[in-house]
A and B are shown apart, each in its own frame.
Chain A
């Protein structure tokens, strides 16, 4: 899995590429929490367009990121979820608590 950060309107986009599983979710968690807690970025956009797979540990990292963003009064915005990722979100019944958009343009305009 690879994570790259780039600036965006009002915040930062984290581009995630690869599988978010037990081996890789700690790296995503670290990147997310760094952006939210340390850099205090007001809007963190998580680009999941190139994520083929996410497991429960990846979902747990997203939940932790969401809680951190709520504590900071910032926003965590997800977009570009594949069928597989969307399915796991639905299984976890968490899709309604996250801010999810189909595309980068929609996420940035939100």
Chain B
């Protein structure tokens, strides 16, 4: 897991995500992988999880500044939609926080099941840098 975290962190750095956003992406991937191991694979070790990352191009739909798309696929038991809610925050008890972390950290989160695989798609968009925001502001003033 620490190797995956380091790899994802590096990918986020290369794509110029701010530190806080890079940490959010790392956290989401880590929590998603943990959920697959715990729930889809029910704690059995050594089972495959496929992960791919794709740079979203500048100016794409909802991605004026680009971003990153991360796809996870596993062959575990189907995930029940009711299990994708997480626990209410007001309940102070262990567990049920991973999904909250993912949803709070990423801009888009989609679960699906295709061809016997659980699929998770997570997207994080790049926030405008202060320089870009400033230059856009200047243009509007002209």
Contacts and interface: CB of A to CB of B under 8 A. Distances in A.
A93 B89 contact: yes
B97 A92 contact: yes
Interface of A: 19, 21-23, 53, 55-57, 59-61, 63-64, 67, 84, 87-88, 91-94, 97
A91 B94 contact: no
B92 A88 contact: no
Interface residues of B, number: 22
Interface of B: 1-2, 5, 20, 23, 27, 30-31, 34, 37-38, 89, 92-95, 97-98, 100-101, 104-105
B137 to A, nearest CB: 29
A91 B20 CA distance: 13
B1 A21 contact: yes
B110 to A, nearest CB: 20
B2 A55 contact: no
A55 B27 CA distance: 7
15 contacts: A19-B2, A22-B38, A53-B2, A55-B34, A55-B98, A55-B101, A56-B97, A60-B94, A63-B94, A64-B94, A84-B23, A88-B101, A91-B105, A93-B89, A94-B92
